Amino acid sequence: MRTWPVIGTIAKRELAAYFESPVAYVFLVVFLLLSGFFTFSLGGFFELGEASLNSFFTWMPWLFLFLVPAVGMRLWSEERRLGTIELLLTMPVLPWQAIVAKYLASWAFLAIALALTFPVVITVNWLGDPDNGVIVAGYVGSLLLAGTFLAIASLTSALTRNQVIAFILALMLCLLLILVGFAPVTTMLSRFADIWLVDTVASFSVLTHFEGFQKGVLDTRDLLFFFSVIAFSLFTTGVVLRSHRAG
Amino acid sequence: MIKVENLSKTFGSKRAVDDVSFEVRKGEVLGFLGPNGAGKSTTMRMITGFYPATAGKVSVCGFDVSENPIAAKVKMGYLPEAAPSYQEMTVLSFLNFAAEMRGLRGEDRRKAVRRVVETCHLDMVLGQTIDTLSKGFKHRTCLAQSIIHDPEVLVLDEPTDGLDPNQKHEVRTLIKRMGETKAIIFSTHILEEVEAVCSRAIIIDRGRVVADGTPAELKARSARAGAVLVTLHGASVEAVKEKLSGIAALHHADVCPAPEGRVTVEAFPSPDAGAERDALAGRIAEMAIRESWKIEQLKTEEGRLEEVFRSITMPDTQLVKGAA
């Protein structure tokens, strides 16, 4: 069977499933409200007095920390709980194709959510004269960040039939990936560890790699980091799913 | 079409399926019998490639399920136990999805969906989401997806579970009809179903095949198989007992008085009587005619599948002649 039509069919079904339940709309509203609140209120968009979306993107990792695991938690745990995984994997499709298809559908859903924040871009362009290249880079970085967290959520949702457990596990792993590069944590670490060690640990953080995008720099090392975490998580998802069936 | 060779599956230290081998040819409907937890579903999951086998080999239409899974799955339709389906989808979108997964597009897809909707009587609920359906409809929706690509091989795990008697009958008729052109394997614990539908049956217990044969062959293993039941009028218990003792093929007989001067006889042939066994009913009839007793009923027991099933899967009840 050709790979892409099958992936397309599964992804289409998966994406439609998001919009067939009210959860999708709740998610979108919460995401848009929170991103607005963080940008304008906590981020001090107006007080900064500069035409940039810095306050918008700075909060993205923290927002995604809660919202992306919420999107990804049902990926495989629901299939296993309802037994539909048996249906899906006995159709002419290879497990990796199903994993990639479901992942891409959820990623597309997050991309839609991100795209719906376009009013902030319009606002900042209306108020001043921002560097739109930096804004595009920020969006690319946000999308990659969301994809990374989502791949981790895919892995934790394969581990358990319980969506709540999948959510919490994903949240904890994502939090770890943030904290190892979070300034207060790295400052604290540097008090009793050598600087090279702190830097090595921080290089595993999504924050470290997200920073470049915020400044408008597309670095291959950052891209490589995000894509390798995604690839590793999806590969492990496959291993976990197989181990359930192998007995 | 389905070939299972020395298939085994262990979960941890538990051996769920132990060295199972059988074959299903085109035009055959194989009934898969066994108590709960005997390994029926596990075997079926290995046939459909959902579980990798611990040992052994499954091939479907000549394709090895573990080496060439896609080619094997293309040929197969599968109804999993409990008939899972995507709850939030409508019946129509679910069937469209199943058809697309099977590579059916455009007009082919529409035709296939129309065909299974008709076969499974789903036209009433096409626009409903699956979670609002009754159990029977859910089941038939899942059955519909398993036959949407008109597969050569069908694996059905308890296809009549949760259906009402009319629906059960319909599904059985459907399986029987499809069985003429496909290779079908289905599991059940309703024994009458096996007699009604299957051309062959396998009984599996604790992961092992304990009996394999046509329903008639299996029934013949029953202790009651070959017993003759007669109701006589105008005879006395003593006279019947006396005359019966003259029949050589008889092992023993229960003679009981019945209301209104009748006598009922349950005569068991002796196991080593050979051809005389089958003639037992005739001998008893001749005897009655000689004595001018009126025969109200005369019947040879075919044996009961239920009895065979029970005695094989619960070995402490001694009901069967000859071991499995």
Domain residue spans of chain B: 2-219, 228-300
Closest Cα in chain B to A91: B73
> pLDDT, tens digit, for every residue of B288-311?
888 888 888 888 877 777 777 777
Asked whether the beta carbons of A137 and A210 are under 8 A apart, the reply is no
* Chain A residues close to B79, C-beta within 8 Å: none
pLDDT of A217 higher than 60 = yes
Spatial separation of the C-alpha atoms in residues B310 and B34, rounded to whole Å: 10
> pLDDT, tens digit, for every residue of A117-133?
999 899 889 988 888 89
- Least CB–CB distance from A84: residue in B45, B78, B84: B84
3 state DSSP class of A28: helix
| Average pLDDT of the segment spanning B127-132 | 93
Where residue B231 falls among pLDDT bands split at 50, 70, 90? confident
The fold adopted by the segment(s) B228-300 is Alpha-Beta Plaits (3.30.70)
Task: Please choose, from the candidates B109, B81, B78, B79, the residue with its C-alpha nearest in 3D space to the C-alpha of residue B96.
Answer: B109
- Least CB–CB distance from B100: residue in A9, A86, A89: A9
Listed range (A66-80, A113-127, B216-230) with the worst mean pLDDT? B216-230
- Least CB–CB distance from B85: residue in A20, A87, A94: A87
Quote the percentage of chain B above a pLDDT of 70: 96
Q: Would you state the CATH architecture of domain B2-219? A: 3-Layer(aba) Sandwich (3.40)
Q: Torsion angle, CA of B56/B61/B65/B70, rounded to 10 degrees?
A: 180
> pLDDT, tens digit, for every residue of A137-186?
999 999 999 999 999 999 999 999 999 999 999 999 999 999 988 888 88
Residue-level pLDDT at B266:
84
Where residue B319 falls among pLDDT bands split at 50, 70, 90? very low
- Least CB–CB distance from A247: residue in B9, B70, B103: B9
Q: What is the predicted ipTM?
A: 0.89
Higher pLDDT residue, A71 or B320?
Answer: A71
Spatial separation of the C-alpha atoms in residues A207 and A105, rounded to whole Å: 25
Q: To the nearest whole angstrom, how far is the Cα of A213 from the nearest Cα of chain B?
A: 38
Asked whether the beta carbons of B77 and B151 are under 8 A apart, the reply is yes
Quote the distance between the C-alpha of residue A228 and its chain's center: 14
| Average pLDDT of the segment spanning A209-223 | 90
Where does B179-279 have alpha helices with state H? Answer: 191-197, 215-219, 237-244
Asked whether the beta carbons of B294 and B261 are under 8 A apart, the reply is no
Average pLDDT of the residues of chain A: 91
Listed range (A231-245, B181-195, B234-248) with the worst mean pLDDT? B234-248
Task: Please choose, from the candidates A176, A30, A18, the residue with its C-alpha nearest in 3D space to the C-alpha of residue A105.
Answer: A18
The answer to whether A9 contacts B97, with C-beta atoms less than 8 Å apart, is yes
Asked whether the beta carbons of A210 and A143 are under 8 A apart, the reply is no
Closest Cα in chain B to A2: B103
Higher pLDDT residue, B315 or B103?
Answer: B103
Spatial separation of the C-alpha atoms in residues B145 and B140, rounded to whole Å: 9
- Chain A interface, best mutation among B18, B61, B70, by max A CB count within 10 A: B70
The answer to whether B101 contacts A93, with C-beta atoms less than 8 Å apart, is yes
The answer to whether A91 contacts B101, with C-beta atoms less than 8 Å apart, is yes
Where does B48-164 have alpha helices with state H? Answer: 69-74, 91-101, 106-119, 135-146
What residues have CB less than 8 Å from A78, skipping those under 6 apart? A84, A157, A163
pLDDT of B274 higher than 80 = no
* Chain A residues close to B70, C-beta within 8 Å: 1, 92-94
Residues of chain A in Cβ contact (below 8 Å) with chain B = 1, 5-6, 9-10, 13, 16-17, 20-21, 82-84, 86-87, 89-94, 242, 245-247
Higher pLDDT residue, B99 or B235?
Answer: B99
In this structure, which amino acid lies at residue A106? S
The answer to whether B101 contacts A9, with C-beta atoms less than 8 Å apart, is yes
List beta partners, residue A235.
Answer: none
List beta partners, residue B11.
Answer: B14
Closest Cα in chain B to A81: B84
The answer to whether B50 contacts A89, with C-beta atoms less than 8 Å apart, is yes
pLDDT of B99 higher than 80 = yes
- Chain B interface, best mutation among A2, A14, A23, A91, by max B CB count within 10 A: A91
